[in-house]
Amino acid sequence: MHAVALSEGRRKSVGFAYALWMVCGLLGLHRLYLGHLVSAAAMAALTLISLPLIWSGLGLLGLVAAGSWALADGLLIPSMAKESNDAAAAALSAAAGALA
């Protein structure tokens, strides 16, 4: 089987994921970029539902949960990017193998 390398345009950048995390971490855009669609939607929903409820304990609790999740993601972004790039390379390799 041939080794397949992803082009620079298809690889997920750790630096760009961190930039998204710093700007929109509570909305989960870094997770969306890295291909974690369901958890990105859950993170955004948690934040957006909690914002109007900020003055109640429930809204504050939701924002604390989303903030803790975003902080944990700060440590997980490199592994999420590697996982995304490995999955894309495997899919590309499988497609190349099917054509050969």
Q: What one-character-per-residue DSSP string does 1-40 give?
A: -------TTTSPPHHHHHHHHHHHGGGTHHHHHTT-HHHH
pLDDT one digit per residue (tens) for the chain, 100 residues: 445 555 656 799 999 999 999 999 999 999 999 999 999 999 999 999 999 999 888 999 999 999 999 999 999 999 999 999 999 989 888 887 777 6
Which of the 8 DSSP states describes residue 56? S
If you search the block for the tokens 């955004």, which residue do you land on? 44
pTM over 0.85: no
